[in-house]
Amino acid sequence: MIPGLLIAATWCLVAWGALAFGAVYPWAWRPLITGCAVVGVAALIVAWRHGARANDLPLLGALVCVALAALVQLTPVSRDARLAISPGNETLLLEQDLEYAAVIRLSGVAPDGSRLAVPDIVDSRPLSIAPTATARAVVLLVGFTLLLAGLTRLLHVTGVRRFCTGLVVIGALLAIIGIVQKATLGDHAYGGMKIYGFWAPYNKLTTPFGPFVNKNHFAGWMLMALPVALGLGLGWAERSSRRLSPGWRGAVAWLSSPDVGKLQLAAIATLLMGASLAMTTSRSGIAGFLIAGMLGLVAVGRRFGSGRARWAAASGLTLLVLTMFAWSGADVGARFSAGAGAIDLRRHIWSDSIRVVRDFPLVGTGLNTFSQAMLSYQSRLRATHFQEAHNEYLQILVEGGLLIALPAAAALVLLAGAIRHRFRLQQDDAMTYWLRVGATIGLVAIGLQSMVEFSLQMPGNAALCVALMAVAIHQTPSRYTGRRNGGTGDA
């Protein structure tokens, strides 16, 4: 009973993160991250009592190293040490911290720091240029790491079918909200559109969709959830196809079976989610989904040995994707043809970001401080403030330098290795296999979008990403191990 309650609590966290405007506001992300930590710790205790084994310690170790590196950025060091480790830090402080600059000039501190008595504000400061923002990032990282550790072990006890079904239901609900809101209220905040009919975005030039102020972030959420919905449908399809008898009577009996009914519900949820993604007209979201669809076709080809089964699954998947775009009515071609301005904007941001990396190569500016750094480094389009790098990997390098970039890269490599190891063991039944495939493709899709967007900086999106990571690397419950050719369990 308790494992089920923890699964339901995780659904609530994922739903809250999405429905509360992506949980970007303090009143939203604080209860979200508190809940993640509580559920994570409780899941660790429950899973330990059920004998769940740890199989993700290297990955968790890398994430702990990221958090420790961020704490190094928060540790006060002397001015001499800062000048030696991160010379750019002094330049930014003199430009942006009026109190610091005044003390430097009025106390007679020499440029090289030589002085008999140096005030604390000068001699003992963190390496982060915005310690409060970095501390907030550390809190989020710790909370999500606890959730990942607990949920991965909890799924070893409960299996993933019920958990992923809940995620798909949340995705369908979110899609309906987005579709209805666009149909009734439009998507232009500048024209008076309000999220949920009452919430006006502060930035009137943005294009909201569903609960998200930025349509690209809604698309990022769907990029992760859609492959899980597809995986759920493929799981039901493979399970039900094993009961398909020859002849028309067998086909009629198959169409009226409970598994096919569940397959139809999964297809409807997938259609809703895909249509909502297309309606955002997010270039990064649509491109990511098309790549995810191709990866799905590859997985179908590798899974089904029969040419007929392979053709049927691939045809159904292709038809579903085409129906999504046709039903949405979005002019995708026109949207992609008008992308020159977005490309130029990102080129400017990336160019300025590289300048920051050159000045802060070792320890960065501090996690969650990109916006602060751009107050000094932004060189173009000064009427618009660059608050994000529009490339998660580049932003990690800007904010963390090699200190954080190296353990973060190690975490990505270890995540990929853990997922590969799970597939190589071949212990999954049909449903678990396809849900693991869906979660993996969702992670790949959001990883690709992160090269041009910053969806994962929305705490609500990060919560879903953690859930997918747990599904992708969890250890198959022993009661389902070996049911590779079907299986009827709740894995």
Higher per-residue pLDDT: 117 or 212: 212
106 pLDDT band, cuts 50/70/90, is low
Predicted confidence at residue 330, as pLDDT, reads: 66
Sign of the Cα pseudo-torsion (464, 466, 470, 472, in order): positive
The CA distance from 102 to 416, in Å, is 49
- Whether residue 32 contacts residue 23, with contact meaning beta carbons closer than 8 Å, is answered with yes
Using the CB atoms, write b or e for 333-357: b if 16+ within 10 Å: eeeeeeeeeeeeebeebeebbebbb
Using the CB atoms, write b or e for 260-296: b if 16+ within 10 Å: bebbebbbebbbbbbbbbbbbbbbbbbbbbebbbebb
Spatial CA neighbour of 230 closest among 478, 444, 439, 476: 439
Predicted confidence at residue 344, as pLDDT, reads: 86
Spatial CA neighbour of 145 closest among 71, 74, 61: 61
- Give the tokens for residue 430: 């049909």
Q: Where are the domains of the chain?
A: 76-123, 158-339+390-480
- Give the tokens for residue 487: 């299986």
Burial of 168 (0-12, 13-18, 19+ CB in 10 A): buried
Least confident of 83-97, 123-137, 262-276: 83-97
Predicted confidence at residue 319, as pLDDT, reads: 75
The CA distance from 158 to 47, in Å, is 9
The CA distance from 462 to 10, in Å, is 13
The CA distance from 458 to 215, in Å, is 12
What average pLDDT score do residues 22-32 get?
A: 96
Higher per-residue pLDDT: 97 or 113: 97
Residue owning tokens 């309606």: 279
Predicted confidence at residue 487, as pLDDT, reads: 45
The answer for residues whose C-beta is within 8 angstroms of residue 219's C-beta and 6 or more apart is 209, 277, 280, 282, 284, 285, 286, 288, 449, 455
- Whether residue 221 contacts residue 280, with contact meaning beta carbons closer than 8 Å, is answered with no
Higher per-residue pLDDT: 131 or 112: 131
Predicted confidence at residue 248, as pLDDT, reads: 53
The CA distance from 453 to 469, in Å, is 20
Predicted confidence at residue 54, as pLDDT, reads: 74
246 pLDDT band, cuts 50/70/90, is low
pLDDT over 90, % of the chain = 58
Length of the chain: 491
- Give the tokens for residue 211: 């609960």
What average pLDDT score do residues 294-306 get?
A: 80
What average pLDDT score do residues 222-235 get?
A: 94
432 pLDDT band, cuts 50/70/90, is very high
- Give the tokens for residue 332: 């995708």
CA distances from 328 to 163, 180, 278, 321, 449 (A): 28, 12, 6, 11, 21
Least confident of 30-34, 218-222, 302-306: 302-306
Around Cβ 452, how many Cβ atoms within 10 Å?
Answer: 18
55 pLDDT band, cuts 50/70/90, is confident
Predicted confidence at residue 322, as pLDDT, reads: 75
Tell me the CB-side half-sphere exposure of residue 319, using CA atoms within 13 A: 8
Spatial CA neighbour of 393 closest among 360, 350, 361, 358: 350
Q: Alpha carbon 36 to chain centroid distance?
A: 15
- Whether residue 90 contacts residue 83, with contact meaning beta carbons closer than 8 Å, is answered with yes
Give one word for 211, left, alpha or beta, with left for phi > 0 and alpha for psi -120 to 50. alpha
Predicted confidence at residue 237, as pLDDT, reads: 82
What average pLDDT score do residues 372-382 get?
A: 89
Higher per-residue pLDDT: 205 or 38: 38
In the predicted model, what is the mean pLDDT of the chain? 87
Which range, 99-113, 183-197, 211-225, 472-486, is most confident? Answer: 211-225
What average pLDDT score do residues 141-165 get?
A: 96
The answer for residues whose C-beta is within 8 angstroms of residue 148's C-beta and 6 or more apart is 40, 56, 60, 63, 466, 469, 470
CA distances from 213 to 20, 24, 27, 193, 281 (A): 10, 10, 16, 11, 14
